Structure 1
Amino acid sequence: MAKKEVSKMSSFHKQVVSSDGSVSSGDGTEVDGKHEPRNSLSICNKLCFAIGSVPFKITDTALGFFLQIFLLDVAELNPLHASIVVFVGRAWDAITDPTVGFLVSRSPRTRFGHMLPWIVLSTPFAVLAYFLLWYVPPFADHGKVIWYVVFYCLFETLQTCFHVPYSTLTMFVSSEQKERDSCSCYRMTVEVLAMLIGTAVQGQIVGMASAPCIPVSSDAIEQLNNSTSILAANATGSAVYVEDTKIAYMMASCTMSAIYIFGAIVLFFGVKERSESCRGQSEAISFFQVIRRVMGYGPFVLLNMGVLLTAVAFYLLEGNFAVFCSYTLGFRNDFQTILLVTMISAVLSVPFWHWFLTRFGKKTAFYAGNSCAVPFLILLVCVKSNLTLTYIISFGAGVSIGAAILLPWSMLPDVIDDFEVHNPDSIGHEAIFYSLYVFLWKFCSGLSVGISTLSLYFAGYITRGCTQPDEVHLTLQLLISAVPIAFIVVGLVIFYYYPVNEERRQINRKRLQELRDSKPTTKWTQVIQEDSAKAELSNMV
């Protein structure tokens, strides 16, 4: 009987430890060997993971394209107050992103995973805050500013509790670079589709109830000192239309909220965090030590500087495109459709850019994607109110937007792998990397919108005016073309020094695989030790 038991344990031990030293699960599946079938993800898993990006992207798109014009023309804030709302919201985000990232890295793993509980618990409160952000309260100007600052900050905080864990989840769905790149491609394709949905839903619903502009004489423009006084003198006749527009924005926010909830549900039930992908718990060091270590890592700094400078360019285009089309080009009733064409082009271009980066490398793809935006930005301000040509230019610009969306998020996992190769004793900082990355992206977005609204304020922007001063037209042209091009050029120059190229990526992949092969997972190490002890005891008996 003892011999039979020993034989079973010895057989199980052989199943767990193969002849080459790799660990097996007993059914022939290597846990940390070279094949790792457990890390291969089905198309369904990748789609569910990608759909999880929809909640953040549709709301971020709506805020990026429509918040500025909503605050100016519907909530009827002057440009200075609108810039205060946006800047304070983004400054608050500066605190919440790294803080949430640190808390996520310190939170215990539950039976639902490490990241998913954050996503699920934050969703209902984020939806409520988002709805109230698009509501126009019956307050005076300063009361409205307080209302929008409070709910903007609240929504940004709750959205961070969703987006930082979701972004970090990329590192936990698989430990293989190829699988993570594939997940990133699925994610970015769906994100661009979400941008398309957000633009279509928000634009078409709001477009059906657009408030008419207020005629302003040329004499009034020349003598303009306070745009709100002109609004007060002319707003009586259009009060009904303004109320319809307010209701339309609330309907759009309800639709966005329903999509937000749907994305969170699909992510929760369709994606499972793989424990074998987790490379360890974070070190027991302070918050500021972690931030200093991550922010001091050279490749991460260069990636941020190069990528985020180009991101500012696209955020300037995003934040001012609706106003530019409405006033400078004169397409007030067509700008929603122009945005739709741009997003369709971006959706169609993402698979192409994924093929391009696998064929020529991520660094080359980044240069090509951003460079092709420059001629279209120049043409955009050279065209004199030609709707057909504007559609063509917008479609071309969308191709570059697809690259700007896909490439930055596919490069961050490479930097994290590089960090772990060069700092093998400093692990478990994935959430910190992603939270800082998200924070810097959001900060660039807020900075660009704040710069835009302040520039329009000093140029003499007239709230809901049918015409604008020449200074406003010049400012919009600079914000749409010259300034973004300057940011793109500087960003590409800095990105030249980014060191994680394709050769270094492959070296890192091999080194990380060697580390996994030499260090079996804790679970199977414990099984091996227990069975070895039992076998030795049985042999002694």
Structure 2
Amino acid sequence: MNPPAETAKLPPIEPMTFSTKLAYGAGDIGGAIVGILLLSYLSPFLTNVAHLRPGLAGATQLIVRVWDAFLDPVIGIMSDRGDVFGAKIKAQWGRRYPWMLFSAIPFGILFICQWLIPFPATNQWGLFGFYTLVSMLLGTFFTMYSLPYTALTAELTEDYNERTSLSSFRFTFSIGGSIFALLIAIGVFQLVKDPAQQYLTIGIICAIISVVPIFYCVWGTQARAKLVNLHQAVRIETPDSQPLLAQIRSVFTNRPFLFVVGIYLCSWFSLQLTAAIIPYFAENYMGLAKADAPKIMLAVQGTALAMLSVWNKISQKVGKKAVYFMGTGFWIIAQAGLFLLQPGQDILLYILAMMAGLGVSTAYLIPWSMLPDVIELDELETGQRREGLFYSFMVFLQKICLGVALAAILQSLEWTGYNSNTQAQLPAVLMAIRLAIGPIPTISLIGGLILAYFYPITRERHQQILLQLAERRKSDIS
């Protein structure tokens, strides 16, 4: 398909302005706030406040993540095609923005519902059904917002270094949102005494804060995305007509994509597993108060936030792979150290948390800045532009992996005799907690380093891909 005649007369794509990067970055605040709270507090809320058995709490999270995971490719492909909301809306708002606008309000309402306790603890299956249903609906609207938002990275710029810069803006807001949510949690835990009201209060406050930036992101980036899309019209307007299974096969024959997926899974599995187990580790193993768990996460996220701009600058000089190696090296030492930590070593705990933050920062920055490069290689090889499909499969595999891990950890707590009514736990429970925070994440991070070593797209290779795409675009226009 040839681009419209006016495409050749469009103004050139200038470097992104600060305001555009700011608006794009702000779009991840909601996802970060909701993500950190669900990851860090949903399991303790379900087991210690709603008094759902750990095994059922783990089953709920496994079901929800499997549901989310299989939903992701569907929404990814639908947002790639951009025709779900009709041609008129697509022409005005593009492929991604209608999804973000439609899902924002339900996303906030369902997050509040996540912290309700509709049945007494004696009705275990009623609680299980309620939290499973609410979590599935929340996950659906979260995906409808987050996947199209994430896919915008490849539509706002094609520049190798500018993508790393854009990712740094995104994750500055992401980590900042996480920190803000943790500060809210600390304040509420100290001011509100009733445990059920603590979590509901946090949910209401954070739901409101999460929804508003979505609209700001749409408003602040739409003009830039529309211009870039017009320049890419020959590609954007030719969606992949292959059957879903054929598209999936082509995605998983993209060798660099498999490396990026592996790096991402190893990093985020370690991060999310640690975040999920920290409340149990802090309270049950270290003997700390409930408000101390978010303080530990603050040490991790605060260090990660401070390092984003540093890693971004280093990456421009030495490349993405080298930065990932540097940060993950510190992170491995920290995770291994947490397993060896003893109760009473509180200062060392915070030192290890800050060391982990050095690596967590690269986990935010590097895999997501690699993925647009992979998408362009796929475009060069197939002639199709499929951001949504690639991003959805990144998240698909991550959710499956995390769901299985969380279910296994919570089930291990039940098997070893976890008691939600007391801080003191049996030695077998404490060992299960320590394994989940130490050796398991450490092994995963080592796997990520091995995959990063063999990742094939360098800065020079990416420049070749862009030149070849530019030549193809000229031939299509002519």
Structure-1-length-normalised TM-score: 0.81
- 1:257 alignment partner, one of 207, 210, 230: 207
Q: Kindly state the Cα deviation for residue 70 of structure 1 after the two structures are TM-superposed.
A: 0.7
Output aligned runs, 1:464-475, within 5 Å: 464-475=421-432
Output aligned runs, 1:215-234, within 5 Å: none
- 1:420 alignment partner, one of 379, 383, 386: 379
Output aligned runs, 1:479-518, within 5 Å: 479-518=436-475
Asked if structure 1 preserves the Cα contact closer than 8 Å seen for 2:339 and 2:439, the reply is: no
1:207-245 Cα distance to aligned partner (Å, 9 max, x none):
544xxxxxxxxxxxxxxxxxxxxxxxxxxxxxxx6xx21
Counterpart Cα distance in 1 of 2:346 and 2:146: 37
Counterpart Cα distance in 2 of 1:361 and 1:256: 36
Asked if structure 1 preserves the Cα contact closer than 8 Å seen for 2:379 and 2:385, the reply is: no
1:385-415 Cα distance to aligned partner (Å, 9 max, x none):
2222222221121111111111111110011
Partner SS state of residue 499, structure 1: coil
Matched, 1:391 2:350: yes
Equivalent residue for 1:529?
none
Matched, 1:45 2:12: no
Asked if structure 1 preserves the Cα contact closer than 8 Å seen for 2:263 and 2:448, the reply is: yes
Q: Kindly state the Cα deviation for residue 23 of structure 1 after the two structures are TM-superposed.
A: 4.3
Equivalent residue for 2:265?
308
Counterpart Cα distance in 1 of 2:139 and 2:102: 15
Counterpart Cα distance in 2 of 1:277 and 1:403: 31
Q: Kindly state the Cα deviation for residue 164 of structure 1 after the two structures are TM-superposed.
A: 0.7
- 1:360 alignment partner, one of 315, 318, 332: 318
Counterpart Cα distance in 2 of 1:474 and 1:323: 12
- 2:304 alignment partner, one of 318, 331, 346: 346
Assess, with a 3 A threshold, how the Cα gap between structure 1 residues 277 and 176 changes in structure 2: closer, same or farther. Answer: farther
Partner SS state of residue 455, structure 1: helix
- 2:419 alignment partner, one of 444, 462, 470: 462
Q: Kindly state the Cα deviation for residue 446 of structure 1 after the two structures are TM-superposed.
A: 2.0
Equivalent residue for 2:251?
294
1:489-511 Cα distance to aligned partner (Å, 9 max, x none):
12322333221122312221222
The residue type paired with residue 299 of structure 2 is V
Counterpart Cα distance in 2 of 1:379 and 1:181: 30
Query: How many residues matched?
Result: 457
Counterpart Cα distance in 2 of 1:485 and 1:181: 26
Q: Kindly state the Cα deviation for residue 309 of structure 1 after the two structures are TM-superposed.
A: 2.2
The residue type paired with residue 363 of structure 1 is K
Equivalent residue for 2:156?
173
Matched, 1:103 2:53: no
Counterpart Cα distance in 2 of 1:40 and 1:503: 20
Matched, 1:128 2:109: yes
Matched, 1:112 2:93: yes
1:69-112 Cα distance to aligned partner (Å, 9 max, x none):
11111111111111111101101112210111111122232302
Q: Kindly state the Cα deviation for residue 368 of structure 1 after the two structures are TM-superposed.
A: 1.8
Partner SS state of residue 77, structure 1: coil
Equivalent residue for 1:229?
none
The residue type paired with residue 95 of structure 1 is F
Counterpart Cα distance in 2 of 1:436 and 1:110: 27
1:413-449 Cα distance to aligned partner (Å, 9 max, x none):
01111112222x3x12111111111222222332222
Counterpart Cα distance in 1 of 2:468 and 2:212: 40
Matched, 1:143 2:126: yes
Matched, 1:202 2:185: yes
Equivalent residue for 2:137?
154
Asked if structure 2 preserves the Cα contact closer than 8 Å seen for 1:57 and 1:194, the reply is: yes
Partner SS state of residue 428, structure 1: coil
Counterpart Cα distance in 2 of 1:431 and 1:378: 36
Equivalent residue for 2:340?
382
Counterpart Cα distance in 2 of 1:462 and 1:84: 18
Matched, 1:164 2:118: no
Counterpart Cα distance in 2 of 1:487 and 1:340: 23
Counterpart Cα distance in 1 of 2:177 and 2:91: 30
Counterpart Cα distance in 2 of 1:181 and 1:310: 17
- 2:68 alignment partner, one of 89, 93, 107: 93
Assess, with a 3 A threshold, how the Cα gap between structure 1 residues 42 and 193 changes in structure 2: closer, same or farther. Answer: same
User: Which structure has the larger Rg over C-alpha atoms?
Assistant: 1
Structure 2 gap segments, 5+ residues each: 84-89
Q: Kindly state the Cα deviation for residue 172 of structure 1 after the two structures are TM-superposed.
A: 1.6
Counterpart Cα distance in 1 of 2:146 and 2:446: 29
Equivalent residue for 2:87?
none
Counterpart Cα distance in 1 of 2:163 and 2:17: 12
Asked if structure 2 preserves the Cα contact closer than 8 Å seen for 1:204 and 1:336, the reply is: no
Asked if structure 2 preserves the Cα contact closer than 8 Å seen for 1:455 and 1:475, the reply is: yes
Asked if structure 2 preserves the Cα contact closer than 8 Å seen for 1:315 and 1:444, the reply is: no
Q: Kindly state the Cα deviation for residue 39 of structure 1 after the two structures are TM-superposed.
A: 4.0
Counterpart Cα distance in 2 of 1:509 and 1:409: 18
Matched, 1:78 2:78: no
Partner SS state of residue 330, structure 1: coil
Counterpart Cα distance in 1 of 2:298 and 2:267: 22
Give aligned-pair identity as a percent.
Answer: 25
Counterpart Cα distance in 1 of 2:187 and 2:46: 18
Counterpart Cα distance in 2 of 1:57 and 1:445: 16
Structure 1 gap segments, 5+ residues each: 1-15, 30-35, 210-240, 526-541
Partner SS state of residue 271, structure 1: helix
Q: Kindly state the Cα deviation for residue 55 of structure 1 after the two structures are TM-superposed.
A: 1.1
Equivalent residue for 1:410?
369
Counterpart Cα distance in 2 of 1:51 and 1:311: 21
